[in-house]
Copies of this chain bind each other. A is one copy, B any other.
Amino acid sequence: MRIEVSLTPALYPYRTIVSRHATVAVDILRATTSICAAFQAGCECVVPLDSLDDLQRYRSLGFALAAERNGERVGDAEYGNSPTAYLRQDMHGVRLAYSTTNGTVAILKGADADLTLVGAFANLTAVTERLCREERDVVVLCSGWKNDFCTEDTLFAGALIERLGATLKGDAATMALTLWQKAKADPYQYCQNAAHVHRLRRIGVEEDIPFAFRTDTCPVVPVYQEGRLVL
Contact = CB atoms under 8 A, between A and B. Distances in A.
Interface of A: 7-8, 10-11, 14-16, 146-151, 154, 170-172, 174-175, 178-179, 182, 193-196
A151 B175 CA distance: 8
Contacts of A11: 8, 10-11, 147-149
Given A11-B8, A174-B193, A16 B148 contact: yes
B175 A195 contact: no
A121 B148 CA distance: 25
Contacts of A194: 171, 174
A170 B195 contact: yes
A171 B151 contact: yes
A14 B10 contact: yes
Given A11-B10, A14-B10, A146-B14, A151 B174 contact: yes
A21 B170 CA distance: 31
